Amino acid sequence: MKGIVFTELIEMVENDLGIEIADRMIVGADLENDGAYTAVGTYDHGQLIQLVLSLSAETNVPVPELVRSFGVHLLGRFHALYPQFFAASKSTFEFLPLVESYIHVEVRKLYPDAELPSFDCSMNGQTLVMTYRSKRPFADLAEGLIQATAEHYGDQVEIARENLGAKDGTEAEFRITPIAC
């Protein structure tokens, strides 16, 4: 997993909860590199799980909730860093299918060792059905990213989720439906 993911998590915790909690999260995670990450480095995704488990113990906030909040934060950072990807679409329903067919393809060109999930997308009437599959259990991260995408475009949507496969967060179906106003 790219270092940018780790530096963004640490920055989010520093900004939202303070430097002390961020330090305690890193110490509690008992990492071999003591929480020293560079944006272009590559690290074991297990370290992200260790950090979030430690943060959960520190704050009493459940892990899935923390990972979803991190997804929301990350989308804001992706928007700041790569505004052109967002400008190319007018809505959530245009943007989300491009994550698989275009955005993550470009990410892979920038970072050939990026570890990316796959998303199967199809429309069922007005509902966008997006199936997440990964070797890593980050369906909660995907959920936060999807939720924040809808907020970014100002689209009112309902996001229904069903865990699939081993139901361990490596596979999930998201059904994203506009809420009629």
- Binding part of the chain for ligand HEM, among 16-24, 28-36, 56-64, 114-122 by CB under 6 A, reads 114-122
Exposure of 76 by Cβ count < 10 A (0-12 exposed, 13-18 middle, 19+ buried)? middle
- Give the x/- contact pattern for ligand HEM in 9-48, rule: CB under 6 A: ----------------------------------------
Separation of alpha carbons 20 and 14, rounded Å: 8
Please, which of residues 74-113 interact with ligand HEM by CB under 6 A? 78, 82, 85, 96, 99, 103-104, 107
- Binding part of the chain for ligand HEM, among 51-59, 62-70, 138-146, 155-163 by CB under 6 A, reads 138-146
- Binding part of the chain for ligand HEM, among 24-32, 57-65, 141-149, 154-162 by CB under 6 A, reads 141-149
Radius of gyration of the chain (CA): 16
Examine residue 5 and tell whether it contacts ligand HEM (CB under 6 A).
Answer: yes
Separation of alpha carbons 129 and 100, rounded Å: 13
β-bridge mates for residue 161, sequence order: 174
Separation of alpha carbons 9 and 175, rounded Å: 27
Examine residue 2 and tell whether it contacts ligand HEM (CB under 6 A).
Answer: yes
Provide the minimum distance between the beta carbon of 164 and ligand HEM in the complex, in angstroms, as a whole number: 14
Examine residue 153 and tell whether it contacts ligand HEM (CB under 6 A).
Answer: no
Q: Give whole-number Cα distances, 114 to 5, 63, 146, 155, in Å.
A: 11, 24, 20, 30
By three-state DSSP, how is residue 142 classified? helix
| Positions that interact with ligand HEM (CB under 6 A) | 1-2, 4-5, 78, 82, 85, 96, 99, 103-104, 107, 114-117, 134, 136, 138, 141-142, 145-146, 149
